Amino acid sequence: MYREIGMLNSIGGILLTVKIISAYENIALNKPAWQQYPYQRQQWGADKAVDGRYSDRSAAGGQCTISANFAQNATWRVDLEEVLSIYHITIYYRTDNAVWDENNGYTGRFLGFSVYISNTTDKNDGILCFKDTMYTRATIPDNVTIECVKHGRFVFFYNERDREVTYPSGYSMTAYNELCEVQVYGCSTPGFYGNTCLLPCPQNCQEGYCNIVDGSCLGCIPGFQGSRCDKKCDGWRYGADCNISCGSCLNFGQCHHINGTCLNGCDRGFQGEQCSKECPEGQYGNNCREACNINCGVPNRCNRVTGECQGGCKPGWKDVKCDKQCDGGTFGLNCAQSCGVCFNEEQCHHINGTCLNGCDKGYQGIDCTLACSDGLYGYNCQETCNINCRVRTTCDAISGQCSVMGQQLGLSTNNNLYPSLYGVISALCLSIALNVFFAICFLRNRACNKSKPERKTPKELPTEHTAPNTEIYDKVEDNAGYQELGQISQLSHYEKLH
């Protein structure tokens, strides 16, 4: 069954003539009604606008609601008793059964009206379906249909005449609600749609309500989106209308589409079910399970995500987390100091540089940076140079060998003397002594000859070419101890000593 009515589409107030399927029910019929300023006579109470009668639209007919005179605003509402899906609202205004034109005195009272739908008794908690801003006394119809595809419990008719506002020509001086009938068409059972109200709304529609025409949700339950709320939140969002951002879930994972919890835990630097809380001071990493290193320059203070220490490291430690000891022969602050010569080239203590197992050969001191003192050598300088070294305080600090000068003089570190060397030295010394002796004698002979009187016998006077007496040389050569300089035929005096 169809009927033809004048329909106001949205807030713009455009009057359209459409055919409407009358399968939707008048869900306001005989429901509780209320008005702000009722007229003193009871026959014009708020309930008259929903009693289903509007054939007589005069005050005398007793079928209309009429408010008190001289009010600055007028409010009337009907309680649908539960939140229902609404398609359109039709209002029949008081005409007093007279011709409805610009000369009818009630047209000016109807101008400027508004219609609201709300879930509470306060219209401002709801939505505005329509506000008249375009009609005049000559154009406003006596019954209007307003399409308002919404859901709600209370439907409001509202008008006002504020003294501080200048209204268009033709508006009444005061506000009225003179309603002979208000019809609210929709589905009487929540959660259904279609012109027969037999189709269930999609499962994830907010509060189970959907567009009464096409079934699209008027809102989604948290965690879903789309016109029919059949898609879970994606793109790291969750909650109502998917307008809440996920926290820092592990590996940038999607949080739970409804409550935002991170199913696999938190990424580095965050904690909590929704991973929205930063790590407290002193903790870092996934779910804040790791503690900042005590060896940080500022103890237990580090980056909440990476664990990198603030203020560098304490002496003896290195790397961004200060979790590695100085090595490679270094120690101290920033591992910038070099170790001494530790035993077997071992690493010194990473903080103070001491050599835990002592020093290597040739060095001494707790950090093994001091060379051995004169006369000492070996590990920790605990060995003494050999007493047979030419210079007793001079030997190699590592091996203990006597100096090169001492070895040329026939000394050694193993206390063995070289017999042939001593023989050579002895013969050399004796040869030098004999040469000196003969030179002295030769000079003395010459001096004596000059002092004696000349002898005339030539045989007694040697000439310049006469060879010197070689008897002593012959005796030296006959000495069984020497054959040649450097060649020893018998044990020398020094050899007999040893």
pLDDT surpasses 50 at 187: yes
pLDDT surpasses 60 at 462: no
pLDDT surpasses 50 at 166: yes
Backbone angles phi, psi at 435, to 5 degrees: -60, -40
pLDDT surpasses 50 at 77: yes
Q: Do 157 and 182 meet the contact criterion of CB atoms below 8 Å apart?
A: yes
Q: In this structure, are strands 317-318 and 324-325 parallel, antiparallel, or unpaired?
A: antiparallel
% of residues, the chain, pLDDT over 90: 56
Q: Tell me the HSE value of 239 on the side-chain side, using a 13 A CA sphere.
A: 10
pLDDT at 432: 75
Query: CA-CA distance, 498 to 483, in Å (whole number)?
Result: 22
pLDDT surpasses 90 at 347: yes
pLDDT at 483: 35
pLDDT at 443: 65
Residue 407, token pair as written in the block: 């070895």
Cα 394-428-393 angle, rounded to 5 deg: 5
Q: Do 123 and 156 meet the contact criterion of CB atoms below 8 Å apart?
A: yes
Beta bridge partners of 238: 244
Query: CA-CA distance, 246 to 233, in Å (whole number)?
Result: 10
Query: CA-CA distance, 157 to 78, in Å (whole number)?
Result: 9
Residue 237, token pair as written in the block: 């969002």
Query: CA-CA distance, 255 to 249, in Å (whole number)?
Result: 7
H or E element: which one contains 131? strand 127-131
Q: Tell me the pLDDT band of 330, cut-offs 50, 70 and 90.
A: very high
- Which is it for the CA torsion 6, 9, 11, 15, positive or negative? negative
pLDDT surpasses 60 at 153: yes
pLDDT at 400: 86
CB neighbours of residue 439 within 10 Å = 10
The contacts of residue 43 (CB under 8 Å, 6+ apart) are 62
List the single range of 126-135, 170-179, 183-192, 240-249 with lowest mean pLDDT. Answer: 240-249
Mean pLDDT highest for which of 3-7, 56-60, 215-219, 480-484? 56-60
pLDDT surpasses 80 at 421: no
* DSSP, residue by residue, 381-417: T-EE--TTSSSTT-B-TTT-PBPHHHHHTT--TT---
pLDDT in tens, 464-490: 333 334 343 333 334 333 333 333 334
Torsion of CA 78, 81, 84, 86, to 10 degrees: -10
pLDDT at 311: 86
Between the CA of residue 450 and those of 93, 132, 469, what are the distances in Å? 181, 168, 19
List the single range of 70-79, 114-123, 404-413 with lowest mean pLDDT. Answer: 404-413
CATH H-level, domain 2-188: superfamily: Galactose-binding domain-like (2.60.120.260)
pLDDT surpasses 90 at 368: yes
- Which is it for the CA torsion 343, 345, 347, 353, positive or negative? positive
Between the CA of residue 372 and those of 214, 261, 402, what are the distances in Å? 100, 69, 15
pLDDT at 463: 38
Domain ranges of the chain: 2-188, 326-371, 375-416, 419-497
Query: CA-CA distance, 445 to 464, in Å (whole number)?
Result: 13
pLDDT at 155: 98
Q: Do 132 and 171 meet the contact criterion of CB atoms below 8 Å apart?
A: no
pLDDT surpasses 60 at 422: no
Arithmetic mean of pLDDT over the chain: 81
Q: Tell me the pLDDT band of 374, cut-offs 50, 70 and 90.
A: confident
Comparing 408 with 393, which gets the higher pLDDT?
393
Chain centroid to Cα 69, Å, comes to 68
Query: CA-CA distance, 400 to 382, in Å (whole number)?
Result: 11
Q: Do 123 and 89 meet the contact criterion of CB atoms below 8 Å apart?
A: no
pLDDT at 493: 36
* Burial of 372 from C-beta contacts in 10 A (0-12 / 13-18 / 19+): buried
Q: Do 236 and 251 meet the contact criterion of CB atoms below 8 Å apart?
A: no
For the segment 338-353, the average pLDDT, to the nearest whole number, is 93
Q: Do 398 and 467 meet the contact criterion of CB atoms below 8 Å apart?
A: no
* Burial of 294 from C-beta contacts in 10 A (0-12 / 13-18 / 19+): exposed
Least Cα distance to 156 among 67, 80, 60 occurs for 80
pLDDT in tens, 280-317: 999 998 999 999 999 998 888 999 999 999 889 999 99
* Burial of 335 from C-beta contacts in 10 A (0-12 / 13-18 / 19+): buried
DSSP class of residue 72?
S
pLDDT at 340: 92
SS3 11: coil
Between the CA of residue 417 and those of 267, 407, 408, 423, what are the distances in Å? 81, 10, 12, 11
pLDDT surpasses 60 at 414: no
